[in-house]
């Protein structure tokens, strides 16, 4: 049961990467780093102003959007435009991830940080079953984000342009849209989601800078399992991962749950690399 709730949360974390990696083919390994950054922003706001983390998450969306756009500009001028092999782009993002992690380490140390909100200790009761709010709310927000992204991608011109840009930028140009600008905005959006995802993360539990690395395996496993570029697939895969991890933790102990994502990743890559709903 907790697995499904966590799965919903995983969806929130992975959505941005689904867009960045799945649709734009930008291997943003630093994605989890931004999620952690979002968590720390929520922590700071919570400690200084008593702000609810979700509120912080929403408030900081423009900031993270700007970060994403700036990052994409650097990435584009450095790598994509010159058509270099993805080796350097990969290293670049790894460097960014590393810088974010160490910067947070310097600023806040290795201790676990957490937030306080009214609903954290409480549960929602259906009859005899109690569901902790701190798990339920992130899951609901995660589902909402997934729905929102799905609507944007399928209903708006802009969303469809994003889907098109990965397949046929030539056609886009003929329609008067600038593919680079679209990619830039899409990437900005992808990073913007991490603001909210980070807030959800610190709601669920305490964070410290190196947690990002745990999530790298998870998010990429989800993107691959769900199929590149499929938002619905991301949701399904997130739920699957959440459940499998939860079961593993129950039967084999919590430390093995990390190995789950890696295992899933390897199995999917070996058996059906296009994922469940992939193109």
- Residues of this chain that interact with other proteins (CB under 8 A) are 27, 29, 74, 78, 84-88, 90-92, 94-96, 98-99, 101-103, 105-106, 210, 213-214, 216-217, 220-221, 224, 253, 255-256, 258-259, 261-262, 265-266, 269-270, 273, 279
d(CA 36, CA 66): 17
Measured from the CB of residue 106, what is the shortest distance to other proteins in angstroms?
Answer: 5
C-beta of 171 vs 269, nearer to other proteins: 269
Q: Are 20 and 26 in contact (CB under 8 A)?
A: yes
Q: φ and ψ at 130, to 5 degrees?
A: -110, 130
d(CA 89, CA 249): 35
Measured from the CB of residue 236, what is the shortest distance to other proteins in angstroms?
Answer: 20
C-beta of 30 vs 196, nearer to other proteins: 30
Measured from the CB of residue 21, what is the shortest distance to other proteins in angstroms?
Answer: 8
d(CA 52, CA 200): 11
Measured from the CB of residue 204, what is the shortest distance to other proteins in angstroms?
Answer: 19
Q: Indicate the DSSP class of residue 113.
A: B
C-beta of 247 vs 259, nearer to other proteins: 259
C-beta of 196 vs 201, nearer to other proteins: 201
Residue 116 to residues 51, 206, 209, Cα–Cα distance (Å) = 9, 10, 19
Q: How buried is residue 137: exposed, middle or buried, by Cβ count under 10 Å (0-12/13-18/19+)?
A: buried
Measured from the CB of residue 125, what is the shortest distance to other proteins in angstroms?
Answer: 35
d(CA 161, CA 22): 14
C-beta of 151 vs 267, nearer to other proteins: 267
């Amino acid at each position: 049961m907790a697995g499904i709730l966590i799965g919903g949360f995983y969806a929130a974390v992975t959505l941005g990467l689904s867009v960045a990696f799945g649709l734009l083919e930008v291997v943003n390994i630093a994605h989890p780093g931004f999620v952690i950054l979002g968590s720390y922003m929520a922590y700071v706001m919570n400690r200084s102003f008593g702000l609810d983390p979700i509120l912080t998450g929403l408030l900081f969306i423009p900031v993270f959007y700007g970060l994403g756009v700036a990052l994409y500009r650097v990435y584009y001028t450095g790598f994509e435009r010159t058509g270099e092999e993805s080796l350097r782009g990969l290293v670049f993002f790894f460097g960014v991830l590393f810088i974010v992690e160490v910067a947070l380490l310097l600023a806040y140390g290795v201790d676990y940080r957490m937030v306080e909100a009214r609903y954290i200790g409480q549960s929602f009761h259906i009859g005899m079953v109690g569901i902790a709010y701190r798990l339920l709310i992130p899951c609901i927000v995660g589902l909402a984000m997934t729905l929102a992204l799905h609507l944007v991608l399928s209903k708006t011109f802009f969303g469809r342009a994003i889907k098109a840009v990965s397949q046929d930028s030539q056609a886009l140009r003929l329609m008067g849209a600038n593919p680079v600008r679209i990619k830039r905005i899409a990437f900005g959006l992808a990073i913007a989601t991490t603001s909210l995802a980070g807030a959800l993360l610190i709601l669920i539990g305490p964070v410290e800078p190196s947690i990002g690395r745990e999530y790298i395996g998870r998010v990429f496993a989800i993107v691959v399992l769900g199929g590149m570029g499929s938002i619905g697939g991301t949701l399904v895969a997130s739920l699957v991962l959440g459940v499998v991890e939860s079961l593993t933790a129950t039967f084999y102990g919590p430390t093995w749950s990390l190995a789950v994502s890696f295992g899933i990743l390897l199995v999917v890559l070996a058996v059906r690399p296009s994922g469940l709903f992939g193109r």
